[in-house]
């Protein structure tokens, strides 16, 4: 145990030794920089992939817009055809046609 009973921290030899142990050495610093460089390379690759995926998504969104217009046109045409059949069939409540064709 320490002979110092003061609960406050005062600069002393033990504190300096602890602080010196946290100072990175040259090898440690080099290893950390190498790891940071590898992480940066991975981040750059991921950003490139994201950019390509966003580009593809934009192209696909254009295609989906076209398909939506096509489907809307089909629904409108079907509505018109079914509406004409209802008028020609006499507007039966049960939905059956008014005669054989």
- The strand ranges marked E within the chain are none
Q: What confidence category does residue 84 fall into, taking pLDDT thresholds of 50, 70 and 90?
A: confident
Give me the pLDDT at residue 101, please. 47
Q: What is the pLDDT of residues 3-31, one digit of tens each?
A: 555 556 655 555 555 555 666 789 899 99
Amino acid 74: pLDDT:
95
Q: Is 4 helix (H, G, I), strand (E, B) or coil?
A: coil
Q: Delimit the domains of the chain by residue range.
A: 24-88
Task: Give the residue with greater pLDDT, 90 vs 88.
Answer: 88
55 pLDDT above the threshold of 70: yes
Residue 85: the pLDDT is 78
pLDDT for position 86: 78
Rounded-to-integer distance, Cα 27 and Cα 82, Å: 80
């Amino acid at each position: 145990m320490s002979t110092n009973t003061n609960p406050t921290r005062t600069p002393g030899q033990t504190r300096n030794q602890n602080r010196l142990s946290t100072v990175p050495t040259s090898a440690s610093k080099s290893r950390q920089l190498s790891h940071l460089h590898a992480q940066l390379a991975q981040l750059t690759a991921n950003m490139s992939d994201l950019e390509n995926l966003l580009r593809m998504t934009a192209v696909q969104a254009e295609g989906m817009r076209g398909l939506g217009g096509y489907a809307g046109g089909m629904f409108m045409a079907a509505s018109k055809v079914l509406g004409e059949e209802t008028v020609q069939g006499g507007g039966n409540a049960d939905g059956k046609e008014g005669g054989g064709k």
